[in-house]
Chain A
Amino acid sequence: MKKKYALALMLGAAVPGAGAIVLNHLGIIPFWAYAAVLIAGFPLFLLGLGLFWMAREGKADVPFLGY
């Protein structure tokens, strides 16, 4: 995955998440909607962050088969 897409994924998860925090704090959206955004967004954010941060992209290879 290109780092650009990873950054987009990370921000795409972070922005609705931050929005949900603010909206829930202001009492505009109920708790369950906030929880749903968080449950869906947190994993995507973490993976996006990791893929954005990772050292480099490699080529696909067959699994580890033993020493």
Chain B
Amino acid sequence: MNEIGGAPLFFLEFGDIVIYFTPFTLTLFLLALVFSVFVLVSRPERQIDIAFGGDAYYAKEISLSELRFRRFMSIACGLACMGAMVTGDVFDFTLFVSLVGICNVGIVAAVRSRHVQNAAYQYGLVALAGTVPMFAAAAMVAATTGTLSMLELAKGTATVPVAARALLVLGVMGEGMAPFYAAKAEMFRAPGAPYVIMCSLSSLLIFLRVAEVILLI
């Protein structure tokens, strides 16, 4: 595993579940942490919208209850994301990724606007469907190799079927919302910063981590 993300710097063992940091996972972990702190301390933006047909413009405000819920979901998403970055266990990874998906839906669905909620509903369906191939992949890994530990799998004593890797990537693509759903402009009708940044951050981070995982196992 030295060759993939750099030489491991640190192992944290909880029984047979090992958390490990390589330069790669450490970079991802730190960025998830930094952006979680931004979400924690930042006030929301007041999005400027132009009233069509005149020179008027107005700033959208975000209500306190909505702010609290979205901030909670964003921080939960940051925590789930940090977990997914450093875990050394395939099943834990899939659990954290599905949690990221749920939190992303929560961040978007808290907005009281029909357009935004429609977008959140559609994304929620995709995220739910994405968990099926993802957990199936984890089950296939356990069934074919007898272990879920990435460190064991990295030794190359047992080969993981290509189908399991493909299903894992498919599932993570379903959970990661940002690149595929950013095209849904409805999602950006509500004041987004700094909460929506967690959607895109967590999606791209789990894509990167899954790239490492399938290279590793």
Contacts and interface: CB of A to CB of B under 8 A. Distances in A.
Chain B binds chain A: yes
B215 interface: no
B59 A62 contact: yes
Contacts of B48: 62-63, 65
Interface string B122-165: 00000000000000000000000000000000000000000000
Contacts, number: 8
Nearest to A66: B50
Dominant secondary structure at the A interface = loop
Interface in B22-51: 48, 50
B59 A65 contact: no
Interface residues of A, number: 4
A63 B48 CA distance: 8
Counting chain B residues whose Cβ lies within 8 A of the other chain, the interface size class is under 10
A62 B50 CA distance: 12
B14 interface: no
Nearest to B9: A32
A53 B48 CA distance: 30
A62 B59 CA distance: 9
B24 to A, nearest CB: 14
B203 to A, nearest CB: 24
A65 B57 CA distance: 9
Contacts of A66: 50
Interface in A15-62: 62
Nearest to A62: B48
Contacts of B57: 62, 65
Contacts of B59: 62
A15 B59 CA distance: 42
A63 B50 CA distance: 12
A66 B54 CA distance: 12
Interface in B54-78: 57, 59
Closest 6 CB pairs of A and B: A63-B48, A65-B57, A62-B48, A65-B50, A65-B48, A62-B59
